[in-house]
Structure 1
Amino acid sequence: MKVFDIIFNKVVRLMEVFLVIIFALLVLDVLWQVFSRYVLNTSFSWTEELARFSLIWLSIFGAAYLNARREHLSMDFLYGKFSDANRKKISIFIEILIFLFALIVMVIGGLNLVYTTLHLGQLSGTLRIPLGYIYAIMPFSGFLIMCFSIYHISKISTNQITV
């Protein structure tokens, strides 16, 4: 299991770096948009679209990162009422549901969306980027979430994660 822990930590670290880069790009883009509008008295139409696409990638990829860290939003009022043995079973069940959601909605649905937009040749309005490339973050993040769910199930099963 040690090899999987090393791989997990490396992937999570790469995700952190990538998320910081996306966020920095988003901040610089918005700052340029504000500067150009109010100081240069001109507006670049591509800045709004780049900010939107950066926010999409930041949100979806950030959700995968939070899933890896097990810091996603949860309501644990009822969960806290269960015994430790039942918490373990419920935690595994929740990870299975997360896995299935990522598989069906994010991976299968995302791949369908990417394929459809690339097949139809849809381009973004200003940047002229194929929208399939923008939407590709959905199946990629879904695949990562699936991998993280399997990792978490193995950790929960061997009592390496407290529930």
Structure 2
Amino acid sequence: MDIETNRPTTAAPASLGMMRWLHRAVEWLAITLFAAIVIVAVVSVVNRFFLGNSLSWSEEFQRYGHIWLVLLAVTIAYRRGAHIGVDLLHDMLPGRAAASLRGAIDAAWLLLGVLICWSAWKILGVSSRQISAGLGVTMDKVYAGFLLAGGYMILSAAEQLVLRIGGEVRS
């Protein structure tokens, strides 16, 4: 959000070197995943209503795809400053205190990513013996999305902290 005009900014957020490629890859993964969900839904509807045949795996694919999509989109929105927030406290604070608050928020995102990865790692061991009924894959492949998204969240939050310390991130 542009503070002066109170309008969303169209410029891409600041990035560190190779992280630019990672951000682009994750965004393309989210786009591809969304397209796959839509295609599977359309094919499922066409099969069910026009051909009288149901795809047994389509509902699970869409459900797990949505979970992965949300997990990735949370961090994409964080990087772009697109999450809803209450700026009252931030706006009342002087420059340095406001910047410190933003840094604390970035540190909280980093901690959240660590907790997601830690929890996902614990679940992966147990879920490797469970098989998804519709897709027929082991559930550790499904839960790997949490590890992937948590890792991306850690990298993005760490990048934001480094950029903020270097003065390259707008408050």
For residues 26-60 of structure 1, give each alpha carbon's deviation from its aligned partner in whole angstroms, at most 9, with x where no partner exists: 00000011111111122222111111111111111
Identical columns (%): 18
Give the gaps of 5 or more residues in structure 2.
Answer: 1-14
Whole-angstrom distance in 2 between the partners of 1:77 and 1:114 = 40
Q: What residue is the counterpart of 1:85 in the other structure?
A: 96
Give the gaps of 5 or more residues in structure 1.
Answer: none
Indicate the structure with greater helix content: 1
- C-alpha RMSD of the superposition: 1.4
1:99 to 110, 122, 130: 110
1:24 matched to 2:45? The reply is: no
CA contact (8 A) 1:68 1:145 kept: no
Q: What residue is the counterpart of 1:50 in the other structure?
A: 61
1:146 matched to 2:154? The reply is: yes
Letter in structure 2 aligned against 1:110? A
* Greater Cα offset, 77-86 or 47-56: 77-86
Shift of 1:89: 0.5
* TM-score, scaled to structure 1: 0.90
Letter in structure 2 aligned against 1:69? R
Runs (4 or more) in structure 1 with deviation over 3 Å come to none
Whole-angstrom distance in 1 between the partners of 2:17 and 2:109 = 23
* Equivalent runs, 1:103-118 vs 2, <5 Å: 103-104=114-115, 106-118=116-128
Whole-angstrom distance in 2 between the partners of 1:42 and 1:143 = 39
User: What secondary structure sits across from 1:159 in the alignment?
Assistant: coil
For residues 103-150 of structure 1, give each alpha carbon's deviation from its aligned partner in whole angstroms, at most 9, with x where no partner exists: 12x1100111112111xx101011111111111111221111111111
What number of residue pairs does the alignment pair up? Answer: 157
